[in-house]
Amino acid sequence: MSHTEQAPVVWSPSKAMLQHSRMGQFIAWLEGQGYGPFVDYHALHQWSIDDLETFWAKVWEYCGLVSDKPAERVLGKRDMPGAEWFPGMKLNFAANLLRLADGEHANHEAVVAYCETRPVLRRTYAELKADVGALEAFLKSQGIEPGDRVAGVVTNGYEAMVGMLAATSLGAIWSSASPDFGVGAILDRFSQIEPTALIAVNGYGYGGKVFARQDDFAELVAGLPSLKCVVSVAQLPDQAPISGSLVTPWDQAIAAGAGQAPSFTPLDPDHPVYILYSSGTTGQPKCIVHGSAGLLVNHAKELMLQGDVGPEDRFLYFTTCGWMMWNWQASALMTGAAVITVDGSPGYPSLNALWETVATEKVTHFGTSARFLAGCRKAELTPARDLDLKDLRVLFSTGSPLLPEDYDWVYKDGAPGVLLGSIAGGTDICGCFVGATPLLAVRRGEIHCRFLGVDAVAYGDDGQPVTDGRGELVCRQPLPSMPVSFWNDTDGARYRGAYFETFPGVWAHGDFIEFTEHGGAIIYGRSDATLNPGGVRIGTAEIYRQVETIAEVKDSLVVGRQIEGDVEVVLLVVPAEGQSLTEDLMKRLRTRIREGASPRHVPKHIVEVADIPYTRSGKKVELAVARLINGSTKADNRDALSNPEALDHIRDKLAAANLLPKG
């Protein structure tokens, strides 16, 4: 019997939530049409993958999505890759996100933007739609056409939303990066897609400091010869705008197109709306192209049904514009909710700041990273005691597996009444495979369930489902938000190689996962970073679960060192402030790992380091360190890291510990 079957229940839905949540109402609506009956969520999920076409048709209808011309059917081709969704449909992505901007909802708040360098900005749905129309008219006046790429180097705020909606309204493709990226990292992304328009801030604030970037971004403009126009956003009001003959200040661009309505140009269902990027830590990032209809219907399911977001709600997801969670957050506009954006440091002026914003804005749905929640636990924050969080119903966590101890903190000191939804998916699908539902109990340390319409299982190396224990996360049937292509991948070889070579015809996601007997899930880290000491496959997250509950440890990273045909587990530890890696602490770490995981998980080497490398979207960079320790000559893309100097320090520490290959 797996240990996970015994995970205790830490939250259960009320009878009111079972009936009145949007998921509960969806079930009643389906049963009213003769489907079901569905005894529970798992029965609904089984139907959703058994009758895939009917399920997605019903999501489209129930969630009120709009098209100019209906689809001839839901699925034309079912091949993976190559599934054809909603053939014959004509629709516009922005029209769906702004579908509630007219009528009685027009004066509801659409965007409330917080940042460190400007006052809070509030805009209604009517104001948002007006600005979208104005910016679209300006872009058209500059020669921007359907299929062109509009790139944004923007903060998580109002202008990013307007830019994306204006671009997708006219049929252009939106692609964004965070302004803390180096110019090299931005060019690695945007030079591949050759944008014709750029929207860029002149700098940003973070942690109480101001970072002026107008000179850097003038260099960026010079490196993108495809540009026809640049719109400069005064994120730093006291600083000059970006200079250059192509540049128009934001306010002037909006004024130039004032009074024009968005065109909401009808387009094919797989017409691209977004280009997202792989992390790019091992070379040029992959340019992942997402289509409009598939992304819309999947986000409608994830936000409205799984997340229970609706028109009276207030939704805050802490993210940057360089992470797919920004695109996910933007889709909350289709629900009619107010989207509260926050740009800056999550720890400034204190770790309580985000929680204070949640209380002040009466946020109903708050999303953050597992790393942030762990930081709150370690800092012994008590927002449940200190703040009025009575409006908060759902707390989302993603970015890395959420430790069982962080469930404990949420339900004791964080926000005890909430549905804690650990969600997991990726940039590749701009969505989730597994996550939350308002219909099931939350179990400590477990992700709730497979999402509706997602035929996800764990595969063994033999390409067969694992009945007990862990395996490779795969999806056996098409999902609408799987990418339509990679940019500049004319024969589809890179796309097939990324997801479909491990198990032909089946999407292999690259996560190491276990599905529990009651339908929950536990993710053990990236499958390309799994360790094989003594031939036993273990996930790095299993070790993090033990190490990062020890108060003397601030952060850690685990890699496998290949030696004499076997693998040694190497643990890098960043001690908490005022602490150091003593013999006693190493002994306690090994004991905790042995008792909490297994003797196989115990590291052969433990090394103290000053910092752990992270991508700019907040993920630990295990592979770069693994290549370092195993002597790979493959160069890492340092611009893709938020703190590349950490790799240099780790190299020195590993060399001092005699853990680098000779020669």
Q: Closest by alpha carbon to 376, among 405, 342, 343?
A: 405
What residues contact residue 341 under an 8 Å CB cut-off, 6+ apart? Answer: 111, 112, 113, 114, 156, 157, 158, 160, 161, 316, 329
What residues contact residue 338 under an 8 Å CB cut-off, 6+ apart? Answer: 108, 109, 110, 111, 112, 313, 314, 315
One CATH from 3.40.50.720, 1.10.287.110, 3.30.300.30, 3.30.70.1230 for 534-656: 3.30.300.30
Three-state SS for 389-402 is CCCCCEEEEECCCC
121-124 and 149-153 beta bridge pairing: unpaired
> Cα–Cα distance between 453 and 83 in angstroms, integer?
14
DSSP string, 470-538: EEEEEE-S--TTS-SEETT-TTSHHHHHHHTSSSTTSEEEEEEEEE-TTS-EEEEEEGGG-B-GGG--B
User: Is residue 431 very low, low, confident or very high in pLDDT (cuts 50, 70, 90)?
Assistant: very high
> Cα–Cα distance between 449 and 115 in angstroms, integer?
35
pTM, entire model:
0.89
Q: Is residue 634 scored above 70 in pLDDT?
A: no
The per-residue pLDDT of the chain, averaged, comes to 93
pLDDT, position 215: 94
- List beta partners, residue 469: none
pLDDT, position 224: 98
Q: Closest by alpha carbon to 435, among 318, 307, 349, 289?
A: 307
DSSP string, 144-191: --TT-EEEEE--SSHHHHHHHHHHHHHT-EEEEE-TTS-HHHHHHHHH
Q: Closest by alpha carbon to 617, among 404, 328, 334, 364?
A: 328
Average pLDDT over residues 268-272: 98
3-class DSSP state for residue 638?
helix
Distances (CA, A) of 178 to 140, 212, 344, 475: 25, 14, 11, 30
Number of residues that this document lists for the chain: 663
477 token code pair:
């049937």
Same fold, 54-345+423-515 and 534-656: no
- List beta partners, residue 230: 198, 247
User: Is residue 185 very low, low, confident or very high in pLDDT (cuts 50, 70, 90)?
Assistant: confident
- List beta partners, residue 232: 200, 249
173-177 and 149-153 beta bridge pairing: parallel
User: Is residue 4 very low, low, confident or very high in pLDDT (cuts 50, 70, 90)?
Assistant: very low
447 token code pair:
């992700």
3-class DSSP state for residue 124?
strand
What residues contact residue 581 under an 8 Å CB cut-off, 6+ apart? Answer: 573, 575, 606, 607, 608
> Cα–Cα distance between 12 and 537 in angstroms, integer?
34
pLDDT, position 635: 59
DSSP string, 528-589: GG-B-GGG--B-HHHHHHHHTTSTTEEEEEEEEEEETTEEEEEEEEEEPTT----HHHHHHH
Domains in the chain: boundaries:
54-345+423-515, 534-656
pLDDT tens string 58-81:
999 999 999 999 999 999 999 999
Cis peptide before 37, with omega less than 30 degrees from 0? yes
pLDDT, position 2: 43
> Cα–Cα distance between 540 and 523 in angstroms, integer?
10
Give kind and range of the element (H or E) at residue 248.
strand 247-249
Percent of the chain at pLDDT exceeding 70 = 98
What residues contact residue 621 under an 8 Å CB cut-off, 6+ apart? Answer: 279, 281, 613, 614, 615, 641, 647
> Cα–Cα distance between 236 and 603 in angstroms, integer?
47
One CATH from 3.40.30.10, 3.90.320.10, 3.40.50.12780, 3.40.50.1980 for 54-345+423-515: 3.40.50.12780
Half-sphere exposure of 261 (CA within 13 A, CB side): 8
Q: Is residue 516 scored above 60 in pLDDT?
A: yes
Query: What b/e sequence results for 309-325 when a residue is b if at least 16 CB atoms lie within 10 Å of its CB, and e otherwise?
Result: bbeebbbbbbbbbbbbb
End-to-end CA distance of the chain: 47
pLDDT, position 468: 86
Percent of the chain at pLDDT exceeding 90 = 83
